[in-house]
Amino acid sequence: MIKPDRILLLGHLGELAGVFETTAGGPVYAVEPTLSVEGALERMAVRHFDLVIADTELAPGGTTDLLRSLLAMQPKVKVILLSGQVAPEEVIEAMNEHAFSYFLRPFDIVAVRDMAQKALEIPEWDDGLEVLSADPNYLTLLMRCRLTTAERLYQFLLAMKSGMRDEEKAQIAAAFREMLLNAIEHGGKLNPNERVRVSRIRTKRALVYHIQDPGQGFNRDNLPHAAVSNPETDPLAHLKVRAREGMRAGGFGLLVAKELVDEVIYNQRGNEVILIKHLD
C-alpha cells in the first residue's frame, strides 16, 4: 500500500484542496485543513506532515514567527507561504528561514500545486539556498545546482515587490530563470554539491542580475546545443544535438534572454553573465 503524502493546509484555502484530489494511477495525498496556527501546531504535534501550505494572514506574529513555529514542530517539513503584498525584506527573510516557496495573491492555483509536487518529490530536505546579503537592493545568494532550487528561487524573486510593471517584472524573471537553468545544467553539471552564486541589484534606473557558475565556461561561438546557434534552414537543429547528448529539452535560454532584457553581458571565460533591464 502506498503511503500518502500528508499535506496541511493552514488558512481559508478551500480552493487548493481540490487540486490535490487523487486521480487513477496518480499521486496519493492526505490533505488536512485547519483555520488557525494553534490548530496547525496541535496537528503537527501528533502527526508527521510532508508539506504545509500556509496563509500568512493568519499569523498575528508575522511570517517569520509562523515559519519558525512550524519548523520548530517538524524541522524537515517543507513550507509554502501564501500572502498578500509584502515588503521584499519579508520574502528574503522567508528564504533565510528555509521556506520552500512564497506566492503572492492572487496566486495561480496550478502554479502552487506544481510547486507543492516539487516539494513532495524531494526525499531529503536540505534547503539549498543560502542568503549572503539580504539587502533588497543588493541580494546575493548561493544555491545548490538542482533544477528544483532554481524554480524555487525564481518564485521567491517573483514575490519580491520591485516597483516595476507586471509585464516588465515577468520578462526579466523569465530571462533570469532561463540563464540560471543554463548555469546549473552546463556550469554546475546538475551536481548538488556545486553551487551557483546569484546577485540581484536594484538601482534607480535598472534591475540587474549577476549569475556565476562553477564551470569552466564556454565558447559562445560554438553552441550547437543552443537555439541561438541554429542555422536559418534548420531552426530546431539544437534539439537534435540535445537529444543525442541526453540533455533535457530546451536550449532557448540565451535566445529568450536576449529578447526579454536590454543587455546580456558575459565575462571572457563564459561562466558569469549579467542581465540588465533598464527601467526608464
pLDDT at 41 over 80: yes
pLDDT digits (tens, 9 = 90+) for 169-212: 888 888 999 999 989 998 999 999 999 999 999 999 999 999 99
Question: What is the pLDDT, as a whole number, of residue 135?
Answer: 97
Q: What pLDDT, on the 0 to 100 scale, is given for residue 59?
A: 80
Tens digits of residue pLDDT in 21-34: 665 566 688 899 99
pLDDT the model gives residue 52: 97
Residue 146 pLDDT grade (very low, low, confident, very high; cuts 50, 70, 90): very high
Looking at the chain, the domain(s) classified CATH 3.40.50.2300 span 1-124
Sheet strand arrangement including 5-10: 29-34, 5-10, 51-55, 78-83, 101-104
Q: Kindly report the CATH class assigned to 1-124.
A: alpha beta
Of 84, 271, 107, 265, the residue nearest 194 (C-alpha): 271
By residue count, the chain amounts to: 280
- pLDDT tens column, 223-276: 554 544 445 555 555 445 445 565 555 445 677 788 889 999 999 998 999 999
| Residue type at 67 in one-letter notation | L
| pLDDT attached to residue 164 | 80
Q: What is the pLDDT of residue 253?
A: 62
What residues does CATH 3.30.565.10 cover in the chain? 128-280
Distances (CA, A) of 170 to 44, 117, 173, 257: 36, 23, 5, 12
Mean pLDDT rounded to a whole number for the chain: 86
Q: What is the pLDDT of residues 211-223, one digit of tens each?
A: 999 998 876 565 5
Distances in Å between the Cα of 207 and the Cα atoms of 96, 107, 223 are: 22, 24, 27
Whether residue 69 contacts residue 79, with contact meaning beta carbons closer than 8 Å, is answered with: no
pLDDT the model gives residue 274: 96
d(CA 110, CA 128) in angstroms, rounded, equals 24
Q: Please name the CATH architecture into which domain 128-280 falls.
A: 2-Layer Sandwich (3.30)
Q: What is the pTM of this model?
A: 0.85
